[in-house]
Amino acid sequence: MSQRSCLSVILAAGEGTRMKSALPKVLHQIAGLPMVAHVVKAADAAGASSDAIVIGHGAEEMRKAVAKFSPKAETFVQEERLGTAHAVLAAREAISRGYDDILVMFGDTPLIDAEALNLARLKLAEGAAVAVIGFRTPLPNGYGRLVEKGGKLIAIREEKDCSEAEKKICFCNAGMMAVAGAHALKLLDAVGNKNAKGEYYLTDIVEIAGAQGLDVVATEASFENALGINNRAELAQAEGIWQARRRQEAMLSGVTLIAPETVYFSHDTEIGADTIVEPNVWFGPGVKIAGGAKIRAFSHIEGATIAANCDVGPFARLRPGADLRNKAKVGNFCEVKQAVIEEGAKVNHLTYIGDARVGAAANIGAGTITCNYDGYSKFFTDIGEGAFVGSNSSLVAPVSIGKGGYIASGSVITESVPDDALAFGRARQKTIPGKGKELRERFASAAAAKKKVAGADH
C-alpha cells in the first residue's frame, strides 16, 4: 500500500440548511476540530499524499479554514450543485495527475477512520476498479442498498427504486468509495443525468464499471464510521461517539478517568500514563499532560502544558500559555494564563497569575493577583525562586519579586523587591475606639428615615 499514490477528494460543498447556521456545515466542530478536518486526518492516516476539497457554500470561509488545518490541501469550487459525480469532477485537475488510488469522501462524515479507508484501498491493490464502503444495520430504511452477486457489487439501489427483495438487504451504502486512478475520469465522465432530478450521481459508476467488465466490490465499515451529520442533534451524537472512543483509548493507555462520561477531550489532547482525571474536566485544544499528574474535578484546561506529577484543581482554569513544571500545584479557583509555574511552586487558591513567571518552590497566597493589563498593554511579573507572596496581594506589573522575597499579606506591590527582602505595600492600620457603634447608630437612623418617607409616599 505504501507504494501506491493516493488522492483524497472530499466533498464539502453542501449548504447544510438543516444545521440552521450561517457557518458552512462541515466547519461545525467535533472535539474542537471542524468535521471536514477530521475527514482529512483520516484520509492522510490512510496514506493520502494529496487532498482535494470541493467547496461551494461559504467558499472564502472554507478556504481560510482549510488553510489552517490542512495547508497543503487544494480547494476546488463546485459552481453548480448538479450531483455527487459532478462534485467529484470539480477536482478533475487533481484527479488527472495520475494517482493510483482516488478516495472519494464526504466532509460531513467525521467519524470515518483510516482502517475503513485502507480496506477499500487494499481492494484496489488487489485489482478492483471500484471499492464501495458500506455498513450493516438491522434498520436499513432510508439508506441505499448495496446489491451483490457472486461476491461482486452490481448496483447501489436507492430505497425508492428497490424491489421487495432488495428492500430486505441490510448492507447499506456509506457514500464513500475508492476508485482506481486509471479508470476514475473515464467512469465519472460516463455518468449521465437521465433521472428525476437531472443530476449526476456518483453511485452510477458501479453499474458503469460493471458494464465495462471492471471489478467492483463492497467493503464493510461500522455504522459509526458511516454516520453523516445533517443537523445539530446528529452533531451531538457524533461528538458523543468521538468522546467515548477517546476516553476508551486514554484508559487503555494507562490514564485513570474516575467518571469517564464526564471528561471531555479535544482532538489533540495528549495525556500521559498514570495521570488521574477526576469528574467533570474539560480539555480544550492544545493541552499536553505528562505522566503522573492529577487533574481534579471541575477544571477547565486549554492550551496548557502540564509536566509530570503536577496537581491541578479542583475548579482550576488553565488558559493558553499556562506552563506547569514538575510537581507544580495550581489549586481551587485559580486561573493561570501565559505564565510559567516552575518546579514545586504552589498557587493554591483564589488566585490569578497572568503574564508571569513563578519561580521554583515559590508560594503564592490566597487571593493574590498579578495586575498585568492597564487597558492597553500587557506587562510581565517575575516572581523569584522560593519567594513567598502573602494572601490578598496585588502585584502591579511590570514588577519583579527577588529570590526568597517576602510580600506581606494585603500588599499592593508597585516596585520591584530585591532578593530576600520583605515588602509591605499597605496603609497603616488606625483604630478609633467607639467609632463602630457611632456609625451603626447613624446608618440605622438614616435607614429608618428613608423607610418612613417611602411609606408616606404610598
Q: What is the mean pLDDT of residues 128-135?
A: 97
158 among annotated binding-site residues = yes
The CA distance from 277 to 268, in Å, is 17
C-alpha cell at 40: 482529512
Strand partners, 353: 336
The CA distance from 420 to 428, in Å, is 23
The CA distance from 159 to 141, in Å, is 7
The CA distance from 275 to 326, in Å, is 13
Looking at the predicted structure, is the pLDDT value of residue 458 above 70?
A: no
Cα 94 to the chain's mean position, in Å?
A: 29
- CA-wise closest residue to 53 among 85, 77, 30, 81: 77
Q: In terms of DSSP H, where are the helices of 133-228?
A: 164-167, 181-189, 205-211, 223-226
The CA distance from 288 to 84, in Å, is 40
Pairing type for strands 145-149 and 33-34 reads unpaired
Pairing type for strands 346-349 and 369-371 reads unpaired
Whole-model pTM over 0.95: no
C-alpha cell at 117: 479507508
pLDDT for the residue 359:
98
C-alpha cell at 86: 459532478
C-alpha cell at 186: 473515464
84 among annotated binding-site residues = yes
Q: In terms of DSSP H, where are the helices of 30-127?
A: 35-45, 59-69, 84-89, 92-95, 114-125
The CA distance from 315 to 269, in Å, is 19
Strand partners, 394: 369, 412
Amino acid at the residue 361:
A
Would you mind telling me the total number of residues written for the chain in this entry? 458
309 among annotated binding-site residues = no
Supply the DSSP string of 420-458, one letter for each residue: T-EE--SPPP---TTHHHHHHHHHHHHHHHHHHHHHHH-
The CA distance from 55 to 154, in Å, is 30
Looking at the predicted structure, is the pLDDT value of residue 349 above 90?
A: yes
C-alpha cell at 408: 506581606
C-alpha cell at 313: 484543581
Looking at the predicted structure, is the pLDDT value of residue 456 above 90?
A: no
By the 10 Å C-beta count (0-12 exposed, 13-18 middle, 19+ buried), 125 is classed as middle
Looking at the predicted structure, is the pLDDT value of residue 190 above 90?
A: yes
11 among annotated binding-site residues = yes
Active site residue 349: yes
pLDDT for the residue 295:
98
The CA distance from 188 to 102, in Å, is 12
pLDDT for the residue 180:
97
Q: What is the largest CA-CA distance in the chain?
A: 105
The CA distance from 329 to 318, in Å, is 12
The CA distance from 94 to 113, in Å, is 23
363 among annotated binding-site residues = yes
Amino acid at the residue 220:
E
Say whether 123 sits in a helix, a strand or coil: helix
pLDDT for the residue 282:
98
450 among annotated binding-site residues = no
Note if the bond before 110 is cis, omega within 30 degrees. no
The CA distance from 27 to 34, in Å, is 5
Mean of the per-residue pLDDT values for the chain?
A: 95
Could you report the per-residue pLDDT of 45-66, keeping only the tens digit for each?
999 999 999 998 788 999 999 9
Name the active-site residue from 28, 183, 349, 458: 349
Could you report the per-residue pLDDT of 220-247, keeping only the tens digit for each?
999 999 999 999 999 999 999 999 999 9
pLDDT band of 1, cuts 50, 70, 90: low
pLDDT band of 2, cuts 50, 70, 90: low
pLDDT for the residue 426:
87
Strand partners, 412: 394
C-alpha cell at 296: 481534579
